[in-house]
Structure formats: C-alpha cells, structure tokens
Amino acid sequence: MPHPLRDRYCIVGVGETEYSQHSGRSTRAMAVEAVKKAMDDAGLTPKDVDGLLSYHMGDSTPSTAVASDLGIRPNFFMDVSGGGSSTEALIGLAMGAIEVGMCHTVAIYRSMNGYSQVRIGGTGVRAAAPLSGSALLTRPYGLISPLQQFAFAFTRHMMEYGTTNEQLAMVKVVHSRHASANPKAFKKNPVSVEDVLNSRWIVKPVAHLLDCCLETDNATCIIVTSAERARTLRQRPIYIMAVQGRGTRPFPDNPWAEAPITRIGGTYIAPRIFELAGVGPEDVDITGCYDAFTFTVVLQFEAYGFCKVGEGGHYVSSGIIALGGKRPNNTSGGHLCEGYTHGMNMVIENVRQLRGQADDYCPGWREGRHTYHYGPGGCRQVKDPEIAMNMGWGTPGYGSALILRR
Amino acid sequence: MPTYEYRGLVLHLPELDQEHWGYFEAARRHQLVVKRCLDCNLLRWEPGPSCPFCASLRWEWAPVSGKGEIYSYQIVYHSVHPGFRDWVPYPIVLVELDEQRGIPTPGYGLRIAANLVDAQFRPEREERVAIGARVQVVFMDLPNGLTLPQFALSGEPPRGRVWRHAG
C-alpha cells in the first residue's frame, strides 16, 4: 500500500536572485526578492502564503522580517539552524505543518551573502570566533574548513577503493558543461580534467581548487502546498513522492569513530526514502546531488544505491551523470558552478526540469521548446524526465533526500 | 575561565566543561586520557558526558598508551586560518589507538585527530605520512601553559597494509 502522503503535496513555485560574489545587498533584500519571484512563478499573492520556513547558520534574515516586508501573515513560521541537507528536510516539515492544519501554503527560503559576508569555508568571522567544547579537539590542529572535516573519509575512500583524482575531476567537468548552458550560472566556462588536476591543491590527496564548490551571494525560495491547491495554480504541479531527513549515521558528530568511515548519513536514509516513494534508484531520471566537493557526489551516489559501494568514481566518470547520459546530475551546474545556496538550487533545477522549463539558451525555453542538443552554451533540458531525486549532504554524519515526479 | 592563544586561535577552557578540562589537564602531565564508562567499562572518544554504548552517565578518565596507527590523513595545502600559513603543507592524521579496536562493533576504534609532527614539533614531511604507519602520542608544551597532544612516527614496523597517495 502506498504511503498515505505520497503525491499529496507539490512544489508549485521556485525563485532565486542572481548568483554573484558581490550582491551589494542585505540578506533581507535578497530573501524578499526570492520569495516574491517564487510567488510570482506560482501565481500566488502574499495573501495566499501563510507559512514561512528558512534555514541559516547565523547569517540570514528571519521569517518575521520577510513576512513584514512582503505583507505575508504566517500562521506558521520557523527559522532553523543548519546548512546542507536543510532544503529537503524543510520541504518535509512544510508538508507536516500543512498536514496538521497549521497552515496551507509554505514558502521556504535560504538567503546568504556566502562570499561577501559570512563565508562557509571557515575564513573571516568564523575563523575569529573563540574555540571551546569539541572544537578544541580539532581546530587547534588546523582542522577547520568543511573540506578538512570531510577529508579523512575521502582519503580513506581512495585507499580502500582506488578512487582517483581523475575520476573526481570528471564531476567538475560534467557540471561545468551543464553550467555552460545555464545563463544564470556564476561559472559558465567548461573545464577539462587537466584544468582540475592543474589547479592548486587545497587538501591533498582529496581536493584541488576546482574540486571545491563556489562561495556565492544569493537567495533561493521554494513554495509547497497541497496537491488539490497546486492543481489550481499557474505551473504544472511537481509532486513530492517522498522526503526523508535529516537522518544520521551512528555517531553523527564523530563519524570517524565507526568504520567504514566512508559510509555516510545517506546510507541510512536510502532504504527509507525509496520505500516511501515506492521507486528505486533505477527509476530516477535525473539527480541533484550535493556537490560541496566532487567527492561528496561520489559518496552519495554509493550511499543511495545508484552504484555499488566503491564504484562511485567509475559512476561519475562513465558518462551516466552528463546531459545525454542515462541519469544526468546537477544539470544547472550545481554548487561547483552555478552557485552555492546550501542545496536549494539543485531542487529548484529539478523542479524546472520536470516542468520542461530549464532556462537554457534554447530560444523557446519559456514555452518548453528545447533542441536537446547538449553542446556548450546550448540546451540543458532533459527530454521528458518523470522522476527526479535530490540528495542533501550535511556532513558525512547526516543528510536528507527528496524524490519528485511530474 | 582559562583562555589560551595558539596560532591566533582563542581557546576557551571553562572549568564547567569537564569533558575537555580534564583532557587538557592530563595532557599537561603528559598523559593521554579517554573516558571510560563505569557501567559497561567501554572506552570512548570523543570524551562526552554519556556512554554512547549504554547511555550511562557515570565515567572516569582512563589513561591509554598513546600508541596506534594512522587510519586516515590529509595534507593541508591551503590554510583557512592565517595562523597556520607558516605551517603549510601540514599533515593532519586520524590515529586509531591500539586500545579497543573492533570493540564493541567490528571496525569501531578510538580515533583521534592531531597533527603528525617531527622531533622538533614541526609538521612531518608529506612523503612520510601514510595510512597504516605506526605512531605514538607526543606532548607539545606551549609557552602559555597549554599542552597539545600530537602524534609522531614511532618507527615501529607497520602491522598491516601501508598506503599513501601516489602524487
């Protein structure tokens, strides 16, 4: 018997600001723009939205400010702490809030000046903060940035499975080609494996500069409502088959304790989300995998069963994840090339893909007319995708996942 | 509230923070300690307030040998914090201690992150860092009174497979 909430809720509106490294604006101004654009996309007015959810790392604008600015009066709002894996989890939280009757239509946003103000990479104000608690056991050793926190698992993956830097580089190569067909991508230049390998080491042996995502300024928004209401709105409804998050592996704050350390939070989420959705990895047409680093993609494809454990390097370099391949990943360019907004842009991209509305260089993209010629600077619309999956990475310790259909 | 400065980092060690206060107090005596559960007797790392295996709140500090092997490593080329710029490229190692390997579950281990340093407490050379290499704890006494546990190659023959990145 299908899960009672399967296909009961839809994503009806998406919107974002420009991806830049110099927004020159407050997170409040950007959040308001993103929410307004998502409402416009759905054909909703502020009076039609009565739920607001946001996630942040002490670097954003609260829902009450956004509500005040736009004339939204929420029956339910919440600003939760967190970055990666939050998008998917909050889509589930929105469904729950609607299901229990607290509200009926929820706008979820993330607004961050992730380059010009508070940088996730660990520099600036984050680096200057005093250390106490468990940070005393890592930061005095120069173990500070997210990449450094994840690197032990990545190195161990290379040792256990022979994953190579060339394979990792292919993730960036593929995503950069996708971004070249995305007018709003911050980095649109296609790169080669050699470009990645010739970029400087950040943390050896797991990441060169081009294996690392961008830091950008931007705001993004997704609107969720019931399937009944969705069918009366402007866009083709995109149905939420299942959502799961956040879930953890054992010892989520200390994921190095238990072997194999290459096993991530997604391993524990995968069986649940596929059971809820009633589909398997083989049924998924496009993926949006959290590409904070090229290695996070490899580990997540293994965790969710798109390939066998240890074969992620082969999976990402085989052509499967490229446009024109069997199951394209991050067709917008993702965090590596489009911009960094803690996972929300990859969900927005999958919604547009399922609608047939990828905003590429095809002259008729607004009306859904695409050439399906996937050269640089051309089309990036996948032909008639039915099912899309997003995988949200928190750390190796936890994550979230989402399966959508048209 | 003791506060220490190290490489431009500000380290706070409030006395109420028993998890870390006791750990650094032992380090000052050049002793590496972990927590032992007084109910199920298992050791744990990190030194949290509760036993992750039986949820007991009763614990004591237990000295360990400080011997083990490198379970994973990274060589930091781009220092995020300016205080480490004179150290790049520097290794951070994840050391699996000899105590309690594979207990209570296969593959569980007491794994501690620190720098791999040479006899002068400088970053160990990259070509000497390898998974499987044997190490021992050493104590880096800072002029401000704080002692940081670090690891150094012990010279013991490796017990299993040794691996390092070819690059």
**Residue range A312-351, pLDDT digits in tens:** 999 999 999 999 999 999 999 999 999 999 999 999 999 9
Quote the pLDDT of residue A345: 98
* Confidence check: pLDDT of A101 > 90: yes
* Confidence check: pLDDT of A137 > 80: yes
Q: Residue A76: which pLDDT band, with cuts at 50, 70 and 90?
A: very high
Please report the DSSP string for A101-156 in residue order: TS-SEEEEEEEEETTTTS-TTS-THHHHSPB-GGGGGTGGGT--SHHHHHHHHHHH
Percent share of chain A, pLDDT over 70: 99
What is the maximal distance between C-alpha atoms in chain B?
47
Residue of A123, A126, A137, A161 to mutate, interface with B, max B Cβ within 10 Å? A137
Quote the pLDDT of residue B117: 98
Nearest residue of B to residue A258, measured between CA atoms? B108
Catalytic site residue A109? no
Quote the pLDDT of residue B167: 82
Q: SS3 for A229? A: helix
Tokens coding A288: 């949006």
Which tens digit of pLDDT belongs to each residue from B58-85?
A: 999 999 999 999 999 999 999 989 999 9
Whether the Cβ atoms of residue B6 and residue B146 lie closer than 8 Å to each other: yes
Query: Does B2 contact A at CB distance below 8 Å?
Result: no
Q: Residue A170: which pLDDT band, with cuts at 50, 70 and 90?
A: very high
Catalytic site residue A290? yes
Span of A124-128, A162-166, A227-231 with lowest mean pLDDT = A124-128
Average pLDDT across chain B, whole number: 95
Q: Which residues of B touch A152 (CB under 8 A)?
A: 71-74, 94, 113
Which tens digit of pLDDT belongs to each residue from A215-250?
A: 999 999 999 999 999 999 999 999 999 999 999 999
Average pLDDT on B130-146 reads 96
Tokens coding A134: 């468990």
- Strand pairing report for A387-395 and A105-113: unpaired
Q: Residue B1: which pLDDT band, with cuts at 50, 70 and 90?
A: low
- Sheet of strand A286-289, all strands in order from the earlier edge strand to the far edge: A76-81, A51-56, A105-113, A217-226, A9-16, A238-248, A398-405, A387-395, A286-289
Quote the pLDDT of residue A341: 95
User: CA–CA separation, A86 vs A105, rounded Å?
Assistant: 18
| Nearest C-alpha neighbor of B34 from the set B63, B77, B70, B4 | B63
B92 and A127 within 8 Å at the Cβ level: the answer is no
Average pLDDT on B29-58 reads 97
Q: Which residues of A touch B160 (CB under 8 A)?
A: none
Residue of A119, A136, A206 to mutate, interface with B, max B Cβ within 10 Å? A136
* Confidence check: pLDDT of A123 > 80: no
Query: Does B109 contact A at CB distance below 8 Å?
Result: yes
3-state class percentages of chain B: helix first, strand second, coil last, to nearest 5: 10, 40, 50
* Confidence check: pLDDT of A360 > 90: yes
Q: Which residues share a beta bridge with B6? A: B9
Q: How far is A77 from chain B (nearest CA, A)?
A: 33
Average pLDDT across chain A, whole number: 96
A142 and B11 within 8 Å at the Cβ level: the answer is no
DSSP structural state of residue A209: G
Helices (H) and strands (E) in chain A, counts: 13, 11
* Confidence check: pLDDT of A261 > 90: yes
* Confidence check: pLDDT of B18 > 90: no
Tokens coding A141: 């050793």
